[in-house]
Each structure stands twice: as C-alpha cells, then as structure tokens.
Structure 1
C-alpha cells in the first residue's frame, strides 16, 4: 500500500507561518493570548482556529510566541505536538488554578516543579507511573524571575486532572459520583499546592518530544478554604514573570554555549564566572 504523508500540524493551529520562535508561552484561554500581547512588541497574529489563537512578537528583543491550548489534556496535546512541529522547543505554561494548600491565597503565583498526574491523554502515550516534571532549567528561570519581580509565589507540586467537574461533583448534583473527589484531602496532605487541567499533559509530552517546559499559574481561588474573589485576580504578574523567565533561560543557554557547557544554572552566571 502506498504511504500517504499527511501534514497534520496545520489541521488545528492553521498557522500562516511555517516556523515560530523557539520560545512560546502557553495559556489555556485565548483571551489571555491578547493579554500576553500587551507585554510584547511587534505583535502579529499568525493563527486563529478553534481554541488555538497564536501570536508572535518580541520581549525586550527576544522573539517569542504565544498560543492558547484550550481546556484540558486533549486540546493541550494537540497544541504541544503541532507547535513543536513549527520549531517550538521551549514552552512556559501561563495558567490559572485552584489553590489546595492552606498557604495559597487568590492572586498568588505557583511555579510547578511537577504534577500528580491524572491525565488520560498522557497515559495513552506512557504508563501511569511515568513522571510528570518540569524542565529544571525553566523551573530555575521561573523561580528567579518571580523573586526578582517581588511577587508572592510558591514552588512545588500540582494536581493535574482531565476533568473540571469531577473534583467538584457537588456543582452537578448532590451525591454525584466521582472517583477523585474523595482523594483530594490525600493529595493536599501530600503537598499538592494547586489543581489544574493542563500541566501534566504538557510536562509528559515535553519530556517525550525534547521540549524544555515549565509552568506558572495564578491561583484564582482557594478550594480548600472556599475562597473565590468576586473579580478574578490579574494575570499580569504571571505573564511578566514568564516573559522574564524566558529571557533568563535564553541568556543562560547562550552563555553556557559560549562556555562550552551543556547548561550552567545560576547563580554561577550571575557571579560573572562565565
């Protein structure tokens, strides 16, 4: 049988360019792509199909792109795979989440080192015990950026699930069945800081594809405390920190290459030893 080569990369993103900058910011909500655009120069929209809105621009001279992933693992999978086909090698998720830890307040930033994985999408590629972790270099860049920006931030594990209502079955009806809702206290006591729907899929696929990925989320609420502000917290601090982290990551990468090293993490570079 004759093989048929189908280029699936444009079937969903519908980009007007063949190649994107290698650094990309990945929010879930298309509206947040426009918010990101306010931080960039020379912004151009290069794709808008279904939930996937894509722009390119520059942040302090660094070429950078942003694309919305939609909600949940399956739509995130499509975005990550197809963005990689267009040259993206570094992804920073800019998300929103529900705080689980008592120490999380609405508006706080959460930098994820990894995720407890309840992702049917990821598990179709690898076994359930495959780790879901951030790239340590992007993680370090996000921590440094948050610290330098003076934001309130936390670093640690998230709980990432492929459902919105299964963790809140009472919103559907009294005694509505859920296999995960009864485990929320377990994961909270085990150190889970937040709840989201996309990070685990991003981390697993990035590991498989060789993408350097990280995630920073704005806590829109605290589920444990029942705190939900009338007006959602601003995404601006997370966007600013993600942009600064991208700049730091690429700078460290460049300096490491000049030194003939694979990757030197700070504060070595900051002390001027390269």
Structure 2
C-alpha cells in the first residue's frame, strides 16, 4: 500500500549526492534509505552481519561546500535508524549500529589508513553515506544506510560474487519495512 522507488545511485559520494539531491528537490522524496555492501573494519563485525549507519565519517571533500566553520559529522535519521534496528532484532539478524567510513578511495595506496579509522571505532567502510546524509540534513529530510558485510578486512575473508547476489536479503527486507 506504499509507493517505493528503487534505483541505483552509482558508486561514490559524487554519484549518490547527485541522485539524492534530485530525488529530494525534484521529486519530493522525504525518506531515502541506501542499501549495499560494506567492508567490516572490526573483528566482531563479521561477514553477513548487518551494519546500520548512525553516522558517516569521510575522507571526501564533499562536505566543504556547506562552509561549516569546523568539522561536521553527518548523521542518519534517528527515526529511521530506530525502526531499522528494531526490525533487525525482530528478525534475529546480527546487527551493529555505529559510525561508518564513506571513503572516496576503494584501493588505497596506504595500507595503514583503514586501521586508523578502525581504532576510532568506525565499524565499516563504504562509499556513499556521508553525501546522502549531508544532502538529507541540508534539505530537512530523513536518510539511512543499511549494509551487509561483504568483506571482513581484519581477517581478509570475503563473500563471493554469487553470495553477494543472493545472500544479502536481510538488509533489503529491513529497508522495505521501514515506514
């Protein structure tokens, strides 16, 4: 009984920022939920676990356009986050709520970089949430990121491409139930 639009947003903050801006300002979308894969940076966040992004740190320059005189931390919508966590718990999913890193760099030449973020308690790395959360905050709408761990960076374990196509349904089901 609800209208839901599902679309690809490309890869990275510039791409999702373009699409989310248009969804908000052209089409009037008020709730934006990103689903996707992430790489765990913490030992206790394992393959197939669900990560619900409370905040999104970034190494991107995207936030500079807002001319904020300091360091601003883009956060998700607590209303959507609370619903997602409740739904994950009801399903018995292993889920983690916290900070993610939205990185502009997929293959980093500095192999120490992710360890520095991990020491600060960042749960996982992905590439879009900071831009999505910033656009949503600037427009006064709600946004959330829900991820499935595809790579466990501390151990080097990874899911296969086939597993990524078929086994990441819990995060999608959670996103579809959020009202």
- With normalisation by structure 1, the TM-score equals 0.60
Determine the C-alpha separation between the residues in 1 that align with 2:14 and 2:159.
Answer: 29
- The yes-or-no answer on 1:153 pairing with 2:83 is no
Q: Distance in 2 between matches of 1:120 and 1:194?
A: 19
Q: How many residues are matched? A: 174
- Which position in structure 2 is the counterpart of 1:236? 169
Partner-residue secondary structure (3-state), 1:86: coil
Which has more radius of gyration? Answer: 1
Give the alignment partner of residue 9 of structure 2, picking from 62, 65, 69. 69
The equivalent position to 2:59 in structure 1, one of 100, 118, 142, is 118
Cα displacement (A) at 1:182: 2.7
| Higher RCO (C-alpha 8 Å, min separation 6) | 2
TM-score under structure 2 length normalisation: 0.91
User: Which ranges in structure 1 are unaligned for 5 or more consecutive residues?
Assistant: 1-60, 170-177, 248-274
Quote the residue 2:36 is aligned against. 95
Once the two structures are superposed, the pairs formed by residues 27-176 of structure 1 within 5 Å of their partners are 61-84=1-24, 85-127=26-68, 129-166=71-108, 169=109
Whether the 8 Å contact between 1:145 and 1:242 is mirrored in structure 2 is: no
Structure 2 distance, partners of 1:190, 1:159, is 11
Deviations for 1:166-205, whole angstroms, at most 9, x for unmatched residues? Answer: 2xx3xxxxxxxx4xx4332222121111000001111111
Which string of whole-angstrom CA distances, capped at 9 and with x for unpartnered residues, describes residues 12-54 of structure 1?
xxxxxxxxxxxxxxxxxxxxxxxxxxxxxxxxxxxxxxxxxxx
Structure 2 stretches lacking a partner, 5+ long: none
1:63 aligned counterpart, secondary structure:
coil
Q: Distance in 2 between matches of 1:126 and 1:196?
A: 24
Structure 2 residue 149 is the aligned partner of structure 1 residue 226:
no
- Runs of 4+ aligned structure 1 residues displaced above 4 Å come to none
